Amino acid sequence: MQELTLETLIAVFEEIFGRGLFWTMVVAALVITLAYVYVLIRDRAVSWRKFLWAQVSMPFGAIAAVLFVQKMTRSGFADIGGPIDVIVLLGVAVAGAVGLAVLVYTAESLIRPRPDDKP
């Protein structure tokens, strides 16, 4: 592989996760992101209580993402071979942590709107 292109990355992810699961995850990420932007625009402020719960959920998202990727790639911690593997694993953990935090904040905001919005 001479160049790293978007098409190459998509092909690799489709190979790892399968075409259906990969594109389902992409669509889910887009829907959650749009819902998060909607919540931020609607509320015009960050709820620090909801933000705290989102941060509490982050370690669970990191662990779940790492375990999910290892399951999909049929590998384990013993298969980590070098610094790039550790960097990729940390990147997956960060993505999982941030993803779950955004999901928790968004879901909590959609389920329980701000108290001053009640009639």
What does the pLDDT look like over 25-40, one tens digit per residue? 999 999 999 999 999 9
CA end-to-end span of the chain: 60
Residues of the chain with pLDDT > 70: what percent?
94
Q: Model confidence over 55-92: pLDDT tens digits?
A: 999 999 999 999 999 998 888 888 888 898 899 999 99
Mean pLDDT taken over the chain: 90
- Domain extents for the chain? 6-117
Torsion angle, alpha carbons of 70, 89, 64, 37, to 10 = -130
**96 neighbors 69 (Cβ within 8 angstroms):** no
Q: Is-contact 95 69, C-beta < 8 A?
A: no
